[in-house]
Amino acid sequence: MIEIAALGSLRAVALHGSVSRAAEVLGYTPSAVSQQVKRLERQVGVPLLERVGRGVIVTRAGRYLVDAGVRVLDDLEAVEAGLHRQTGAVAGHLRLGVFSTATRGLVAPAVRELLAAHPLLTLSVTELEPWDSIDLVAAGHHDVGVVHTWGDVPLDVPDHLVRTSVSHDVADVVCHRDHPLAGRDRVSPADLVGEGWIATPEGTICRQWLSRMYDGTGALPRIAHVSMEFESHLALARAGLGIALVPRLGRSTLGADLVAVPVVDPVPTRDVVAVHRRSMADSPAVAAVLDALAGVSGRRS
């Protein structure tokens, strides 16, 4: 009989391209993942991984087993979700992948309420970029991803995932109180041409939106400083080193030195979305998470 855990390890190696990366995602040691795959090879009697240089690739037989195994794992997950629905049990362990501002503004208060209301439920939260959350939920390594998409910046969600909108968020230009923009009641992208920006790294969704915001101005945003965390953006703006586009969700108090100026034409708006696998659609635990996130969002409005 094929072991489900070993099948999951092979699936992770196939998805992530290496034993070490699969182990990191699964929370195992590389040795444990290798042993599981070797045990699976003994069970089925054919090689599943082939060594190439210092890495490995999945053999043709291994790819067949992964593809067929996905259907088995999804079916088992659906059975478990249906069982919990029959009993009404909000129980088990859910793994959440969450972007940073949602951790502070949505997930932390929602988790506190969930665990108080459902003592048989446990949760683990990992901060991830939206693309990584979607990939890990799609592959079965996380259960719920809380992601965001800005305006018309695309966010590709596989067909076997369900999207649920849980919140909407708006970003403002944050600058030092002595900055010329601080006295404005609103600004448009045309007003921001030439300003020095404190921005997230190239390739992030927030950076893509900042660039899209300049469409029609004939210019690109001038990036003066790069930081992943919006809290660092605020610190740099407080030092007078530039302006930042900072979402309201999870934003700390600005204090006396910073001013938030609304942006128009367009208004920087993002949709906060929870994604989970369709095979978990009947899970009361997933439903409880979605309800808690929406409840926290509603109180913010």
Phi, psi of 125 (to 5 degrees): -115, 130
Q: Is the peptide bond before 130 cis (omega within 30 degrees of 0)?
A: no
CA angle 122, 110, 248 (to 5 degrees): 140
Interval 122-137: pLDDT, tens: 999 999 989 889 988 9
Residue 258 or 14, more confident: 258
Interval 92-105: pLDDT, tens: 899 999 999 999 99
Residue 28 or 278, more confident: 278
In this model, does residue 10 exceed pLDDT 80?
A: yes
The proportion of the chain whose per-residue pLDDT surpasses 70, expressed as a percent, equals: 100
In this model, does residue 153 exceed pLDDT 80?
A: no
pLDDT value of position 70: 78
Task: Grade residue 16 by pLDDT with cuts at 50, 70 and 90.
Answer: confident
The SS3 call for residue 223 is: strand
Distance CA 135, CA 156 (A): 10
pLDDT value of position 278: 93
Interval 250-292: pLDDT, tens: 899 999 999 999 999 999 999 999 999 999 999 999 999 999 9
Average pLDDT over residues 69-88: 77
All structural domains of the chain: 4-82 (1.10.10.10), 92-301 (3.40.190.290)
pLDDT value of position 301: 62
Q: How far is it between the farthest Cα atoms of the chain?
A: 73
In this model, does residue 13 exceed pLDDT 90?
A: no
